[in-house]
Amino acid sequence: MADEEKKENIAEEEKLAEEAASSETGETEDSVSELDELKAKVKELENQLLDAKDKALREAAETENYKKRLRADKESAVKFANEALIKDLLDPLDNFSRAIEAAEQTKDFDKMREGVVMVEDQIQTILKNNWGLEVYSPEGEDFDPSVMEACMVQEQDGLDKEKVLQVFMKGYKLHGKVVRAAKVMVGKPKSN
């Protein structure tokens, strides 16, 4: 019987050893699967980080390209801002050339003067209608220093306030803003 007991004890010990080994293996398997899950999560987060970096770089490049396009567009707009004005003035320039040619052939002062007056009218009409340029010649009006520049002042009898006696150069306004003040001679009341 002792042999049978020994065999049973050995069998029990083997059984206990197997159970212990299997429980250790289970824990190890659980640890391995948790480690694999963590590695997979780290890999996923690394991929997300790479994607975010790539996206940020692309957006920075797009922003820089957009800024370059804006700069180029602005330079082009400044460079060609007066293109329409120049196109509008080409016909009057051609008419000036024709007037000069005609004057050389005919030597008729009246016709040349008439041609020059027509070209001046054409230019003024283009600048007024297409560009908002107003010409003003304030002769006989009250002196207004906001739109006139006094080049000469002369005391005169019969004036109760300062008046424009003569216009040396016409004034110009662009959409209501003075771009060149009229240069005038001002008459002021004589001081007693």
Which tokens sit at 62? 């797009």
Of 95, 88, 143, 136, whose CA–CA distance to 119 is shortest? 95
pLDDT reported for residue 55: 96
Q: Can you give the pLDDT at residue 133?
A: 93
Q: Is the alpha carbon torsion for 9, 11, 17, 19 positive or negative?
A: negative
Q: What's the confidence (pLDDT) of residue 107? A: 74
Cα gap 103→3, rounded to integer Å? 147
How much is the pLDDT for 164?
95
pLDDT tens column, 30-59: 777 888 888 899 999 999 999 999 999 999
Q: 110-114, 134-138, 164-168, 170-174 — which is least confidently predicted?
A: 110-114
* Each residue's pLDDT tens digit, 86-133: 888 898 989 888 887 877 787 777 878 888 899 999 999 999 999 999
Residue 171, burial from CB neighbour count under 10 angstroms (0-12, 13-18, 19+)? buried
Residue 98 contacts residue 116 (beta carbons within 8 Å): no
- Position 17 scores a pLDDT of 66
Which tokens in the block code for residue 124? 């003024």
pLDDT in tens, 54-85: 999 999 999 999 999 999 999 988 888 888 88
Q: What is the pLDDT of residue 187?
A: 93
pTM: 0.57
CATH annotation of 137-192? 2.30.22.10
Distance CA 51, CA 176 (A): 57
Better pLDDT: 20 or 80: 80
Residue partners of 7: CB distance under 8 A and separation at least 6: none
pLDDT for 60: 95
